A and B are shown apart, each in its own frame.
Chain A
Amino acid sequence: MMQRRLRVLLLVFSLVILQTTIVTHLHVFGAIPDLLLVATVAVAYNGGPQAGALFGFFSGLVLDLFLVSPFGLSAISNSVTGWAIGTFQAGMAFQTRRTQVFLAALGGVIGGTVFMVVGGVVGVAGYLSLYSVQVIVAGSIWDAVVSVPIFMFVHWALMTEHLRRY
């Protein structure tokens, strides 16, 4: 258990470093991948809605430390995404690597939408716009692209088998 916690901490720390350094240069159509959101999807895929929501909440809080947007906004979007993906995947008959890629993209759409809507509701200017929709779509494609290595990293951190079932 201790070893797994250390691995999860290392996972979050590494992804935060990547997200705040190298990933910031990877803009395509105004979007970058959200590594911690994809990791949340991977945790939800592996551990269900509760694990996804908890991991999403704490990883979102960590990311919020490095953002200018209101503290707690990523925590909300990531925890909702973790819960939604965990609930969705529980009802799936079989799961493959393609499923992971699809779930990462779906998670990107859910997380981005929640972030945009909650941000707009709490009064952050410019969040509720057509451009945000473009960013969410481009971001979700990015999330799908980076999902395979991140799912592998998460499986390593949680010490679970790579693909649970087919």
Chain B
Amino acid sequence: MAFVKRNVRWQPILVVLLVTALLLVALDQRGSGPITAVKRVAREVISPVQNGVNSVFNPVRDLFDGVINYGQLRDRNLDLKRKNEVLQGKLLRERAVGSKVGELEKLLDLPTFEDATGVAARVVGGSPSNFERTVSINKGTSSGIQVGQPVVAGAGLVGKVTAVSRTVSTVTLINSSGFGVGVRLENSNEQGIAEGKSGENQMKLSFLTDVKIVVKKGELTFTSATTDAVFPPDIPVARVVSSQKLAGALEPTVILEPVVNLDDLTYVKVLR
């Protein structure tokens, strides 16, 4: 039995479908309000079912992960304990310097990362497409989340909210292609743009304000304090993994690795 009447010519139908789809793509690219509204309604409708499925599936997934990766988790736990002790010591040493910096920031009335209030959320899923780097979180407009808000995890920047419904939001990760964030280098304070590299867990540092600077391996980058910046300043973004100046290149090729393990996110904080 045919699914659709066979006496209809299919070639014109295919052309009509493709033209319609291309028009929709063009409308969406121009930021069409109705399409955004329809997307939001669809997410609202389906989110209770998604939450239900996730609440059933996540414990099963955690159990499997725990059993399969037991040895790895034990080693990681030991490693984290060791790092925690080192960081505790470093924190105590930096406390004196930090208090002075805090006083200066107050005097100059500069906004800081800590000033931003946030909403803690759990990552409930990844991207449903092979061509996107996003995660879904279990908080939405009902918790005050809006499109464009920055998202951080313990160690640093994760991404920003790109779609939101009442109870679920989509966060585009910083290593997505096309994602750019203004950063400053730890040692030189020179600024540049950290951009996602297609398909890799790495980023590329471009448009440096001083192309002659020497960028060291291991150097950190932080969100820069520029006017109209999307992200609050001084959030750790990525660490330099390599830097080399190719012959004839205008600026060094600097490859960065996000400080947050973006493949293993459980809880994040959306800054408001």
Contacts and interface: CB of A to CB of B under 8 A. Distances in A.
A2 interface: no
Given A72-B28, A75-B24, A66 B43 contact: yes
B198 A63 contact: no
Interface stretch (B45-53, B85-93, B150-158): B45-53
B14 interface: yes
Contacts of B130: 30-32, 34, 112, 135-136, 139
Contacts of A47: 2-4
Interface string B224-241: 000000000000000000
Contact of A50 (B10, B29, B177): B10
B3 A43 contact: yes
Nearest to B45: A65
Interface in A55-78: 55, 57, 60-63, 65-76
A147 B167 CA distance: 32
Interface stretch (B34-42, B208-216, B251-259): B34-42
Chain A CB within 10 Å, residue with most, of B25, B26, B42 = B25
Interface residues of A, number: 67
Nearest to B57: A22
A123 B62 CA distance: 38
Interface string A74-108: 11100110010000000000000000000000000
Interface residues of B, number: 56
Given A57-B21, A72-B24, A67 B128 contact: yes
Contacts of B39: 65-66, 71
Contacts of A119: 131
Contacts of A165: none
B19 to A, nearest CB: 10
Contacts of A126: 176-178, 196-199
Nearest to B32: A71
B168 to A, nearest CB: 9
Contacts of B176: 126
Contacts of A73: 21, 25
A158 B4 CA distance: 11
A20 B10 contact: no
B170 interface: yes
Given A79-B17, A126-B196, A65 B132 contact: no
A131 B200 CA distance: 8
B17 A68 contact: no
B146 to A, nearest CB: 16
Given A68-B162, A69-B131, A21 B54 contact: yes
A127 interface: yes
Nearest to A26: B126
A20 B46 contact: yes
B6 to A, nearest CB: 7
B163 interface: yes
A25 B14 contact: no
A25 B3 contact: no
B172 interface: yes
Contact of B25 (A63, A65, A122): A122
Nearest to A112: B130
Interface of B: 1-4, 6, 8, 10, 13-14, 17-18, 20-29, 35, 38-39, 42-43, 46, 49-50, 53-54, 57, 61, 124-132, 134, 136, 162-163, 170, 172, 176-178, 196-200
Given A66-B128, A69-B129, 18 more contacts: A17-B49, A17-B50, A20-B125, A23-B128, A31-B130, A48-B10, A49-B14, A53-B13, A67-B127, A67-B128, A67-B132, A69-B131, A70-B29, A71-B27, A71-B35, A72-B23, A122-B25, A136-B130
Interface of A: 16-25, 27, 30-32, 34, 43, 46-51, 53-55, 57, 60-63, 65-76, 79-80, 83, 112, 115-116, 118-119, 122-127, 129-132, 134-136, 139, 158-160
Query: Closest 8 A-B residue pairs measured CB to CB?
Result: A126-B177, A131-B199, A125-B178, A47-B3, A72-B24, A50-B10, A51-B3, A126-B198
